[in-house]
Chain A
């Protein structure tokens, strides 16, 4: 620690920190544009010039290391003169028409110009003009002439997003920010550049010219999308969410949010919003009152429970539902005597049910990811599924960590990956077993090494041959001091998810690593804690897959669009069609119009109070920011009334907080999180069936399914601007080039993809990084919703 004096205030600051850091500590504000605490130092705007005693000239505070005994004056005559001079230079080329600019009112340059700018411009020559570039549907560069070349956006791309999509071309007056020739900014974090831009050069395209900053009221909320639970500020104008910006929370989302969190608000007022309760009568939808609709639902459920039995009623919820909704749904179901409730809609292997000792979670606080030095990421489309967790891992890898990947697809993670095993889904268990075996052999007798290792499973490892990749992954993990083994969405949806998780736990145990699940959605951990799983209470029932395999007579759907949100949409639709009564509680009209009997309009996250328990087990509550649209009502109120109508005890809540407190009072949250599983048996550690002998049946493939980032949940599917990005392109079937050649197809051809007797036509594309024997077909899109299970077998033929 060193002592430095800023404006007469003595501050103690760390060795190696800058004058800017010290000033921040002392609470002294130094004007700046290019400096940002999360980005590298560029010192090119020169706005932060300060006077340092004994230095001949003013020095930039952001790039001057603090030294012992340094005396800094930020408001001395010299400093102010320097800052005013810089301001005048910056305004030479900056247009002085703030009233036209979309950034007006929230512009750093405007604010600082009030303090340091002159009353009038002395510059009478021509100003610089920069032609706008088309860089995608999210960021507008129409006002590129306003750029002051602070290069924050460029540094963000390089350092945080991991890919340099914007750069500064040319020099001095001709310097301009542009993307590479004809390419858009595709990063899933690109929206943060809008926040970073201190002027109005990069602005939000969907928000452009819809409101001025002073008209917006700011309300805090939490992202309903991925498992991170990013903190959001909803900017509300006239009972509408006009835009979404991040709220800084160093422990969760730092100061970033993903584009999915930022732009999904456009779906909130989509024309597809359901605003009136509706009942199907004589195959026509009629709008009814809430009282009629709820009475209808209650009567229907009572009848089915009476005639067929309560176990013929099933409930499916998405993990994007709030904690309170999930809790009340399972309480309602168990109240009427059915344990058929599940929120793990895309999961297919439920073998770990009942063996779990707690709710699966990240295994560590989110902020600890940055401190890890070794990663094993199993089955995750990391960047698209968890944009901000990927960013944290990227920072850790940059700081000297090593990332290892076991997965069925090889998308660019935009970080250095030390070892990767890209294998067919059927081989993933084998791959993990190899790593485990390599670790055991590396460390000697397992009995002494680890108590977590189940010796009974060891014989299963005997026939395993360790490949070089597995060995190097094992070595990499063993060499680390703080390793982490993380299971992604793909691994959790995998048909052998239980075994993958068990093996991952053993691997983590052997190299004293943290073992965690990357939560798919906002409440993937919360759902377990809310008890919205069939094994959570004494009244037990069927899991999501069983409910479809053994069709039930009544289905309650909470936010779920079964044709897009389920592991096997084909089976789901069939089960819905067979049911006597399907009650769809949804914020949107969707395909349920075909199979449901009652549509109940419920409020999305902005219109209801609720809680999301994120992957690290942090319960984050939020309040409704706007009034529900039309007759929509918060789902927890709908469920409460349903509970009352069905005479279920304990449904007299006045607030959602009362629901939350009741559920959370069952024990400290942290104690209820545990990834450990008892007695999982290892089976099937052989090469996958399709790969045996290296030759599969011609035209038959195993499906590898990703859920594209902008098709993952109901809200984001309706966000207009996100749907125009490259990430939301219509689904294509991707195969290895050799496989395509065998089929006699070329990249770009139309192929007929058949699964479970239903064919769809998809364009085929070459992905040379995919393993052979698999075809990658995304889920969550209407074009592929006719197909079957996410990991099923399908055939590809020439169309």
Chain B
């Protein structure tokens, strides 16, 4: 009996028609392809993209050079040198993140006691050479300056879950 069923199935192209029916359904269904870069997918406020260094409202950089992010970074992507500034505070003289090493785990942001190093929603950055993805302190501060409004908003949204 089973054998006869199998014989008719192959003979009458049932599988083919089933497949065509699925294709036909999708042909008329609503399209979900995002037309990047004209269109973008929605992001959560905890999105972990490109890093940024933040400043306080008075323009003072937040980072105090405690090196906790450097210590916690599992990919050893962060390199910090510090020195005493004229006013007696410890400040970084070098703060580099090698984005080719970074695994975007977010530990640096997690460990930062002053919310200085953050990961932004930006993910469509690029470099033409390998060295272009080696972000130095001025580059990170520039990212922070440019996107501070969004960064601050995201931190505020996340604050109630902490």
Which chain A residues have a beta carbon within 8 Å of chain B's beta carbons? 97, 99-100, 102, 104, 142, 208-210, 212, 214-215
Q: Which of A99, A100, A102, A210 has the most CB of B within 10 A?
A: A99
Contact B82 A209 (CB under 8 A): yes
Contact in complex: B113, A209 (CB < 8 Å): no
The answer, yes or no, to whether B144 is at the interface (CB within 8 Å) is no
B88 CB-CB contact with A under 8 Å: yes
Q: In the docked arrangement, what's the CA distance between A212 and B64, Å?
A: 13
List residues of chain B with CB within 8 A of the CB of A102. 90
Q: Are B83 and A215 in touch, CB under 8 angstroms?
A: no
The reply to whether A215 and B67 contact each other, CB–CB distance below 8 Å, is yes
Q: Is the CB of B67 within 8 A of A209?
A: no
Within 8 A of A (CB), among B94-140: 113-114
State whether B88 touches A142 (Cβ < 8 A): yes
- Residues from chain B with a CB closer than 8 A to the CB of A215 are 67
Q: Which chain A residues border B71 with CB–CB below 8 Å?
A: 212, 214
Interface of A is mostly: loop
Interface centre among B82, B83, B90, B114 (most CB of A within 10 A): B90
Chain B binding surface SS class: loop
Contact in complex: B64, A100 (CB < 8 Å): yes
A344, B64: Cα distance in complex, Å: 51
Chain A residue with Cβ nearest B68: A99
Judging by beta carbons under 8 Å apart, are B67 and A100 in contact?
A: no
Q: Which 8 A-B pairs have the closest CB atoms?
A: A99-B66, A209-B90, A99-B113, A209-B84, A212-B67, A100-B64, A209-B82, A214-B71
Q: Which residue on A lies nearest to B114, using beta carbons?
A: A99
For B67, the chain A residues whose CB sits under 8 A away are 212, 215
Bound CA span A142–B84, Å: 12
Minimum Cβ distance to chain A for residue B134 (Å): 19
Contacts of B64 in A (CB 8 A): 99-100
Chain B nearest CB, measured from A127 CB (Å): 17
C-alpha gap A780/B7 in the complex (Å): 109
> Are B66 and A209 in contact (CB-based, < 8 A)?
no
Alpha-carbon distance A209/B91, docked complex (angstroms): 9
For A102, give the chain B residue with the smallest CB separation: B90
Q: Which residues of B contact A142 (CB under 8 A)?
A: 88
Closest beta carbon of chain A to B53's beta carbon, Å = 15
For A102, A209, A214, A215, the residue with the greatest tally of chain B CB atoms inside 10 Å of its CB is: A209
- C-alpha spacing A214/B84, complex, angstroms: 19
How many chain B residues sit at the interface, stated as a range, is 10 to 19
With contacts A208-B84, A209-B82 taken as known, whether A104 is within 8 angstroms of B66 at the C-beta atoms is yes
- Knowing A99-B113, A99-B114, A100-B90 are in contact, say whether A209-B83 is a contact too (CB < 8 A): yes
Residues of A within 8 A of B83 (CB): 209-210
User: How many angstroms from the CA of A214 to the CA of B114 in the assembled complex?
Assistant: 20
7 contacts between A and B (CB under 8 A): A99-B68, A100-B66, A104-B66, A209-B65, A209-B83, A209-B84, A212-B71
A100 (CB) vs chain B CBs: closest residue: B64
Residues of B within 8 A of A104 (CB): 66
- Besides A99-B64, A209-B82, A209-B83, 20 more A-B contacts (Cβ < 8 Å) are A97-B113, A99-B68, A99-B113, A99-B114, A100-B66, A100-B89, A100-B90, A102-B90, A104-B66, A208-B84, A209-B65, A209-B84, A209-B90, A210-B82, A210-B83, A212-B66, A212-B67, A212-B71, A214-B71, A215-B67
- With a cutoff of 8 Å between Cβ atoms, the chain A residues found around residue B68 in the complex are 99
Query: Nearest residue in B to A99 (C-beta to C-beta)?
Result: B66
In chain A, what residue has the closest Cβ to B90? A209
Of the listed residues B66, B89, B114, the one surrounded by the most CB atoms of chain A closer than 10 A to its CB is B66
Q: Of all chain B residues, which has the CB nearest A101?
A: B66
Q: In the assembled complex, how far is the CB of residue B62 from the closest CB belonging to chain A, in whole angstroms?
A: 11
Complex Cα–Cα for A209 and B90 (A) = 6
Name the distance in Å between B93's Cβ and chain A's nearest Cβ. 10
Determine the distance from Cα of A102 to Cα of B88 in the docked complex, in whole angstroms. Answer: 12
The chain A residue with its CB closest to the CB of B91 is A209
Residues of B within 8 Å of A99, CB to CB, are 64, 66, 68, 113-114
| Residues of chain B with a CB closer than 8 A to A209's CB | 65, 82-84, 90
Nearest opposing residue in chain B for A238, CB measure: B81
Which residues of chain A have C-beta atoms less than 8 A from B114's C-beta? Answer: 99
In the complex, A663→B4 CA distance in Å?
100
Q: Smallest Cβ distance from B110 to chain A, in angstroms?
A: 14
Give A215 to B66 CA distance when docked, in angstroms: 12
What separation, in Å, do the CA atoms of A142 and B83 have in the docked complex? 16
Whole-angstrom distance between the Cβ of A216 and the nearest chain B Cβ? 12
Complexed CA–CA distance, A102 and B83 (Å) = 12
* Cα distance A51–B88 in the bound complex, in angstroms: 44
What's the nearest-Cβ distance from chain A to residue B51, in Å? 18
Q: In the complex, how many angstroms separate the beta carbon of A316 from the nearest chain B beta carbon? A: 41
| Chain A residues near B84 (CB-CB < 8 A) | 208-209
Contacts of B66 in A (CB 8 A): 99-100, 104, 212
A214 CB contacts on chain B under 8 angstroms: 71
A100, B82: Cα distance in complex, Å: 12
Name the A residues within 8 Å of B88 (CB-CB): 142
Closest A residue to B111 using CB positions: A99
Measured CB to CB, the nearest residue on chain A to B83 is: A209
Q: Closest residue to B65 on the A side, CB-wise?
A: A209
Query: In whole angstroms, what is the CA distance A336 to B92 when docked?
Result: 56
Chain A nearest CB, measured from B107 CB (Å): 15
- Tell me the smallest distance from the CB of B135 to a CB of chain A, in Å: 21
**Residue picked from B67, B82, B83, most chain A C-beta under 10 Å:** B67
Compute how far the CA of A757 lies from the CA of B84 in the bound complex, rounded to whole angstroms. Answer: 49
- Complexed CA–CA distance, A208 and B68 (Å): 17
From B66, which residue of chain A is reached at the shortest CB distance? A99
Cβ–Cβ < 8 Å partners of A212 in chain B: 66-67, 71
Bound-state CA distance A422–B45 (Å) is 80
How far, in angstroms, from A212 to B72 measured CA to CA in the complex? 13
Q: CA A349 – CA B83 in complex, angstroms?
A: 51
A208 to B88, CA, bound (A): 10
Closest-CB distance, A470 to chain B (whole angstroms): 56
Q: Distance in Å from the Cβ of A554 to the closest Cβ of chain B?
A: 46
A104 CA to B111 CA in the complex, in Å? 14
A209 and B89 alpha carbons, distance in the complex (Å): 9
Report the minimal beta-carbon distance from A357 to chain B, rounded to whole angstroms: 56
Expressed in whole angstroms, the Cα–Cα distance for A97 and B90 within the complex equals: 13
Closest Cβ of chain A to B61, distance in Å, is 14
Alpha-carbon distance A97/B68, docked complex (angstroms): 13
Contact with A along B23-44 (1 / 0, CB 8 A): 0000000000000000000000
Q: Which of chain B's residues have a CB closer than 8 A to the CB of A97?
A: 113
Q: Closest A-chain residue to B113, C-beta based?
A: A99
Please indicate the chain A residues that have their CB under 8 angstroms from the CB of B90 in the complex: 100, 102, 209
Q: What chain A residues lie within 8 Å of B89 (beta carbons)?
A: 100
Give CA–CA (A214, B88) in the complex, Å. Answer: 22
Which residue of the partner chain B has the closest CB to A215? Answer: B67
